[in-house]
Structure formats: structure tokens, C-alpha cells
Amino acid sequence: MKTSITPTIERRLGFSFAIDTNQINARHRLPNMTQLEKWRRDGVILLVISEPAFDEIAKGNDQKRRSKASDYLRAKHRIRSQEDLNELRTIERILFPRGANTQSEKTDAEIVLNAKKNFDYLITRDGNSKSQPRGILGSRADLRKLGVTVMTDKEAVDFIRKHIELRDNNARLDFAILQLPPPDWIGKD
């Protein structure tokens, strides 16, 4: 009895990335974000913006940024419990040891909390610089302990490329064993 087996290799990697407000690529000057957006369109990754990040952009005067932010799926997480509120306060203390005193600082903490609650990798350029040594990137080791992975857009591109290579190698092997032609997207991402 002959059976037909076709491997199920999906193009989607299964990773979801939330972008910070500073990663809106409205003028297409961020080449790594351009690559991430292409992978999103091709169905390789999920790329979202949290509701707090979207709201922050919507309040601004830059129509191109508002329009670009509207292109993203919005990841929502509302603070519903005392546990959520406690996590938000913990994140605020990590990011701003002297306290989150401005609305922008409070929004940063909410963006991190949203990434945590939605199991998203968070992509940002916030912090770890001379002008802002702490910020989100400068706090990534402490945030990692809470279960939040923070990276730059370049780090995200490198991370995804490694996983694309693994996916493609596994797919080639599976299809070769079965003597079937691989999907046409193999090797193109």
C-alpha cells in the first residue's frame, strides 16, 4: 500500500515582534526595518505595534508616521489586574530608577509590558547610548529576567536570518528525503 507524505514546512517562523515608536519607518530610512517589513508582507514574521505606542504616535503631528503606524496590527493588552499593575511598576523601576515622571516614560513602560504580555520580541532604539545610557536597551538584561526580550532592528534581522537558514535547511532535507520539489519560497527570504 503506497502512502503519500508531504512535509508541512511553513514559511512563517512563528515569531512576533512589537516595534517601539522610534522604529516607525515612515520615510524608509531604516534599512533593517524595511527588511522586517518585507518579511511581514511575505508572511515570515508577525510585526505589530502596541496600543500605547500607536497612541503616542497618533498624538504627534507627523502624518507620515501616523499613516505608517496604521499599517501595523495593533497588539492590545489592557491592565486588568493588580498583577498587571505590579508588573508595570516593576518595569517602570527598571527603566527609570528615579521614577517614571513623564507621560513618555510611562508609555515606554506600557510598551514593554505589552510586549511581555503578548509574548513579543520588542524592537527599539531607546537607550543604551551616551545621551540615554539606561532606557529600554540599556535595561535589557533586567527586562530579560522578567521574560521580555529586547533587541535593535539589526539584531532582529540577524536573529530572523539565522532562523530562516535553519528553516530552509530543514525543508530542503525533508523534501529531498521524500524526493519532492521544495516550496518555491525556499532560499528567497
Residue 130, pLDDT score: 63
Domain assignment of residue 163, yes or no: no
Domain assignment of residue 28, yes or no: yes
Q: Which residue ranges in the chain fall short of pLDDT 70?
A: 1-7, 128-133
Domain assignment of residue 10, yes or no: no
pTM value is: 0.91
Residue 4, pLDDT score: 64
Residue 72 sits in a domain whose CATH number is 3.40.50.1010
Domain assignment of residue 88, yes or no: yes
Contacts 24+ apart (CB under 8 A), 37-44: 39/160, 39/189, 42/11, 42/185, 42/189, 43/11, 43/12, 44/11, 44/12, 44/13, 44/160, 44/164, 44/189
Residue 26, pLDDT score: 92
What phi and psi values does residue 73 have, to the nearest 5 degrees? -65, 140
Domain assignment of residue 145, yes or no: yes
Domain assignment of residue 74, yes or no: yes
Domain assignment of residue 78, yes or no: yes
Q: What is the pLDDT of residues 136-158, one digit of tens each?
A: 999 999 999 999 999 999 999 99
Residue 131, pLDDT score: 62
Domain assignment of residue 116, yes or no: yes
Q: Report the number of distinct structural domains present in the chain.
A: 1
Please give the residue range of the domain that contains residue 46.
Answer: 16-152
